[in-house]
């Protein structure tokens, strides 16, 4: 059973970034199925989580019903063939991850200054790697993994000579720490092909990883290396060999080489495919990968080459043959001579071809900086040549070389061990998908830089938003003012309605006010009323029926008398006291009280008329006067 390793590499522990310990991708839950399409063969591995362990539950290899090479380029036909293969194997895929071969991926190691934001680091990676891509950046899918931190270099021993002054030490700039990032790039069409094939097969695609990184993950699960040991993994297939240098899931070096014996062999169709390496070919000088430039030596036979390389490797092991004071330079020189001569010799055996490509790759790795020395070489595959390759490499390398039993190392069931060696990358892909951090390289969900801000568009949106807010504010103010005016209008309308109800009272009040004003501006009519009451005859002979005044100092009287003589005497009395009297006609008009004559008088008050009320004597009221009693007709008293 495969278990996730909780160990961390020494450079990962030294990485003081917030990236450490962060869960960058969502871990798939339940069963995870990893798929690898290798020609007409579908390799699949199923893993499931059981508590704190990840268990490999199924390993299988099924043929794909693809009639020709044209069908491989059709994602719909490929997806249909995958679905048929899954049906034959009676596997319910669940969450699916697919792997991209090394030939379809560009790997590049770059050094960057440490940053605290993952998106800023992604922006730096995209900017740096875009300059070296052989195609447009828009066509690329870029993902990366932080490999290690390079600390400040320690002080070197001082050389002979005068000791530098303190000022020169202070002026000398100190190098800044950097981080090493491994960048993986593939074409967008590769990812789209995987997505379309998964959709055609009816699968739920959760990630697209790198098969070489799957080898590194499976190698760690097999517990081949101890601590921070660097291991070279040689993966054998019938037509190619893969060499991956791994240190605790970190892919330090990766190379794939073709084992075709003819120089005119057909090149891979993928635009990202790494150049195949024949016996006459040299390593690619593409800027996408590490430079593989081997020194060419004089043409010698293959046996002479083996003897020379073995002698130099033995010298390197004993400390001899070093160059430039760097241990292992003799080994690199021997490997360079071996590879250079291999360009002239043409061995035809599978083991010899694999040996040349392994030595070529190890020499290329030895020229990289920084270089971590190899601890061992591990060979894995299902070609049947693995024991011979192990023996050949043991004879030609000064390193331990062993064959890896993947099924036994992972403690797999006996039924799953048959295809375990061929499915090593697929096993690592499935295990990596269940790790808390997810796949180190996931081309379906790559780490992306922050979206570039269009400041012009941002300003336009801000201006539009401000204008909209201003319009809304003005509308709100308008609505508030309208409500205030409506409330004032309602109050005024209520006051008008109440005033309309009180209008008769107001009219009467105004009339009374006018009358009062007229009385206050003219003579004192109350004095004249009292004066007339005193000089007129008693009520037994005469009484007033009306009394009114006008603005021209005129008093209008209507009298009711018992006899016409009484009325004539009244005229004389009024003239005697100073009034100008205009008597009216005397008419007989008997009432029920026995007063049979009526007459109207108009008295003009002269301005010189003076009334002294103190000298007037008003007669007493009669005993039967009922003018003040309610409900009875009254007679006006004098």
Is residue 83 situated within a structural domain? Answer: yes
- What percentage of residues in the chain have a pLDDT greater than 90? 28
Residue 434: alpha-carbon gap to chain centroid? 26
Q: Quickly tell me which residue has 């190392």 as its tokens.
A: 409
Q: Is 329 part of any domain?
A: no
Mean residue pLDDT across the chain: 76
* Mean of pLDDT values over 373-377: 91
Average pLDDT over every residue of 73-84: 89
Q: What is the DSSP letter of 287?
A: T
95 lies in which domain range? 1-152+175-224+409-452
Residue 500 domain-assigned (yes or no): no
Q: Does residue 132 lie in a domain region? A: yes
The answer to the question of residue 252 being in a domain is: no
pLDDT in tens, 168-201: 555 556 667 888 899 999 999 999 999 999 999 9
394 sits in the region (left: phi over 0; alpha: psi -120 to 50; else beta) called alpha
535 in the same domain as 448: no
**108 shares a domain with 213:** yes
Average of per-residue pLDDT across 600-617: 84
Looking at the fold, whether 532 and 419 belong to one and the same domain comes out as: no
8-state DSSP, 73: T
Place of tokens 């020229």: 367
Mean pLDDT of 200-223: 91
Instruction: Give me the CATH number covering residue 602.
Output: 3.30.1360.100
Mean pLDDT to the nearest integer, 505-509: 89
Report the Cα 196 to chain-centroid distance in Å: 28
d(CA 572, CA 585): 15
Q: Which H helix or E strand runs over 467?
A: helix 455-501
In a domain, 568, yes or no: yes
- Residue-wise pLDDT for 237-288, tens only, equals 888 899 999 987 788 888 888 886 433 343 433 333 333 322 223 333 333 3
> In this structure, are 181 and 36 located in the same domain?
yes
Question: pLDDT at residue 37 above 60?
Answer: yes
Count the domains in the chain.
2
Average pLDDT (8-24) is: 42
Return the top range by mean pLDDT from 317-321, 325-329, 500-504: 500-504
Q: Would you place residue 11 in the very low, low, confident or very high pLDDT band (cuts 50, 70, 90)?
A: very low
Same domain, 428 and 528: no
Which of 369-373, 444-448, 510-514, 608-612 is predicted with the least confidence, judged by mean pLDDT? 369-373
Residue 49 sits in the same domain as residue 180: yes
Quick one: 100 and 186 in the same domain?
A: yes
Collapse the DSSP code of 218 into the 3-class scheme (helix H, G, I; strand E, B; otherwise coil) and give the result.
Answer: helix
* Burial classification of residue 476, based on how many CB atoms lie within 10 Å of its CB (0-12 exposed, 13-18 middle, 19 or more buried): exposed
Asked whether residue 205 falls in the same domain as residue 60, the answer is yes
Do 436 and 539 share a domain, yes or no?
A: no
Checking if the pLDDT of 318 tops 80, the result is no
Indicate the DSSP class of residue 58.
E
Residue 216 and residue 68 in one domain: yes
Contact 425, 211 (CB under 8 A): yes
Phi, psi at 131, each rounded to 5°: -75, -20
Residue 25 lies in a domain: yes
Quickly state the pLDDT bin for 483 (edges 50, 70, 90).
very high
Cβ(430)–Cβ(47) under 8 Å?
yes
What is the reported pLDDT for 189? 93
Q: Is residue 295 part of a domain?
A: no
Domain harbouring 208, CATH code = 3.30.420.380
Over 90: is that where the pLDDT of 617 sits? Answer: no
Q: What angle do CA 142, 357, 308 make, to 5 degrees?
A: 140
Same domain, 127 and 216: yes
| Pair (63, 192) in one structural domain | yes
């Amino acid at each position: 059973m495969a278990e996730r390793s909780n160990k961390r590499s020494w450079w990962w522990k030294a990485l003081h970034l917030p990236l450490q310990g962060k869960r960058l991708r969502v871990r798939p839950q339940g069963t995870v199925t990893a798929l690898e399409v290798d020609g007409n063969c579908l390799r699949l591995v199923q893993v499931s989580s059981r508590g704190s362990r990840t268990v490999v539950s199924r390993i299988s290899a099924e043929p794909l019903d693809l009639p020709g090479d044209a069908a491989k380029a059709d994602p719909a036909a490929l997806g249909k063939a995958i679905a048929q293969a899954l049906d034959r194997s009676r596997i319910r895929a669940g969450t699916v991850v697919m792997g991209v071969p090394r030939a379809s991926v560009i790997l590049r190691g770059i050094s960057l200054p440490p940053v605290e934001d993952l998106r800023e680091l992604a922006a730096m990676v995209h900017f740096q790697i875009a300059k070296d891509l052989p195609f447009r950046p828009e066509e690329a899918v870029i993902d990366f993994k932080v490999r290690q931190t390079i600390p400040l270099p320690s002080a070197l021993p001082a050389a002979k000579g005068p000791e530098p002054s303190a000022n020169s030490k202070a002026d000398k700039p100190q190098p800044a720490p950097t981080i090493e990032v491994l960048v993986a790039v593939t074409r967008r069409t590769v990812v789209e092909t995987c997505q379309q094939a998964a959709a055609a097969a009816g699968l739920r695609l959760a990630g697209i990883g790198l098969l070489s990184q799957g080898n590194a993950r499976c190698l760690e699960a097999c517990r081949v290396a101890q601590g921070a040991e660097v291991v070279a993994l040689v993966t054998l297939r019938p037509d190619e060999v893969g060499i991956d240098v791994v240190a605790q899931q970190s892919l330090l070096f990766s190379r794939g080489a073709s084992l075709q014996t003819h120089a005119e062999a057909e090149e891979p169709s993928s635009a990202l495919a790494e150049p195949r390496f024949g016996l006459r070919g040299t390593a690619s000088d593409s800027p996408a990968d590490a430079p593989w430039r081997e020194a060419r030596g004089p043409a010698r036979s293959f046996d002479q080459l083996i003897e020379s390389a073995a002698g130099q490797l033995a010298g390197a092991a004993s400390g001899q043959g070093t160059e430039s004071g760097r241990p292992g330079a003799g080994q690199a020189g021997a490997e360079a001579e071996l590879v250079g001569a291999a360009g002239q010799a043409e061995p035809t055996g599978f083991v010899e071809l694999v040996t040349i490509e392994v030595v070529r790759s190890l020499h290329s790795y030895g020229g990289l900086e920084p270089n971590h020395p190899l601890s061992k070489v591990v060979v894995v595959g299902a070609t049947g040549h693995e024991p011979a390759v192990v023996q050949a490499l043991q004879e030609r390398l000064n390193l331990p070389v062993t064959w890896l039993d993947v099924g036994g190392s992972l403690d797999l069931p006996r039924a799953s061990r048959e295809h375990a060696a061929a499915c090593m990358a697929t096993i690592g892909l499935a295990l990596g998908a269940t790790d808390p951090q997810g796949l180190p390289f996931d081309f379906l969900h790559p780490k992306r830089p922050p979206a570039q801000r269009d400041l012009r568009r941002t300003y336009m949106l801000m201006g539009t938003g401000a204008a909209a807010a201003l319009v809304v504010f003005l509308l709100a103010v308008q609505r508030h003012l309208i409500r205030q005016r409506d409330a004032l209008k309602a109050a005024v309308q209520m006051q008008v309605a109440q005033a309309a109800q009180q209008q008769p009272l107001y009219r009467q009040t105004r009339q009374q006010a006018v009358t009062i004003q007229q009385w206050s501006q003219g003579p004192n009519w109350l004095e004249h009323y009292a004066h007339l009451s005193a000089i007129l005859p008693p009520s037994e002979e005469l009484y007033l029926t009306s009394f009114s005044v006008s603005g021209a100092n005129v008093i209008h009287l209507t009298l009711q008398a018992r006899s016409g003589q009484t009325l004539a005497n009244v005229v004389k009395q009024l003239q005697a006291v100073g009034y100008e009297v205009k008597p009216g006609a005397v008419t007989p008009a008997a009432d029920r009280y026995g007063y049979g004559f009526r007459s109207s008088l108009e008295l003009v008050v002269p301005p010189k008329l003076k009334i002294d009320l103190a000298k007037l004597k008003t007669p007493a009221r009669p005993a039967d006067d009922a003018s003040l009693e309610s409900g009875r007709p009254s007679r006006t008293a004098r």
